[in-house]
Amino acid sequence: MKSAFILLILFFAGCANSTHNTKAGKTKSNLMKPKVNKPEEEWEKILTPQQFYILRKKGTDLPGTGAYTYHFEQGVYKCAGCGASLFYSDNKYESHCGWPSFDNAIEGAVVMQPDYSHNMIRTEILCANCGGHLGHIFDDGPVETTGKRYCVNSTSLSFEKSDE
C-alpha cells in the first residue's frame, strides 16, 4: 500500500516536470532598455513606499497633493528614482489639472509608450534612464508653445534649484 502511494507521487512529479519543460520563453518587451536596470526588489529598498508605488507600480499622486504642483522656482526637475534631469523649470506652467505640468521635456530624457489601463487610451511617459513611471502626456498644453502637457507626478520628481 505504501509503495503504491510513493509510485503515485512519482507519477505526478513526472507530470509536473514535463509541463515545466514546455514553459514558453521570455516574452518581456525589448522596446525600452533603460540604462539603469535594477531588479524591483532593489528599487523597493532604495525608494520610499510612495516613490516605489508611483515610479515602479505606475501609481498616481492624488490631484493637488504633490510637492511640486504649485512650485515655481528656477531649476531642474530630476527623476526621483535615478537622478536623471527630466524637465527645466522654464517649461513648467500652471495647467490647473492638479499635477505638475510641463510643455516640454529635456531632449531624450523621457520616453513614451501607449497605456491602455483603466479603460482609457493614453500615452505614458517614463524616465528614459531608469524606466520609472512619470505620468502621461496630453495634447491640451499651451498652444503658444508646444501644445503638449506633460502631466507628471510630484513623487516621481526631485528638484534642484539653480544658483542664479
Active site residue 151: yes
Q: Which stretch binds Zn ion (CB under 5 A): 62-70, 107-115, 124-132, 145-153?
A: 124-132
User: Dmax of the chain from CA atoms?
Assistant: 86
Hey, what's the cell of 14?
513526472
The answer to whether 135 contacts Zn ion (rule: CB under 5 A) is no
Q: Which stretch binds Zn ion (CB under 5 A): 69-77, 81-89, 103-111, 133-141?
A: 81-89
The answer to whether 51 contacts Zn ion (rule: CB under 5 A) is no
Q: Which stretch binds Zn ion (CB under 5 A): 62-70, 82-90, 101-109, 142-150?
A: 82-90
Handedness of CA 112, 41, 61, 99 (dihedral sign): negative
CB 76 within 8 A of CB 159: yes
Q: Which of 41, 84, 59, 81 is nearest to 136 (CA)?
A: 59
Which residue is catalytic, options 79, 82, 130, 151?
151
Cβ-based neighbours of 7, under 8 Å, separated by 6 or more: none
Hey, what's the cell of 152?
507628471
Which of 132, 152, 154, 155 touches Zn ion by CB under 5 A? 132
Note the residue count of the chain: 164
> Cβ closer to Zn ion: 54 or 151?
54
The binding site for Zn ion (CB under 5 A) comprises: 79, 81-82, 84, 127, 129-130, 132
Catalytic center residues:
151
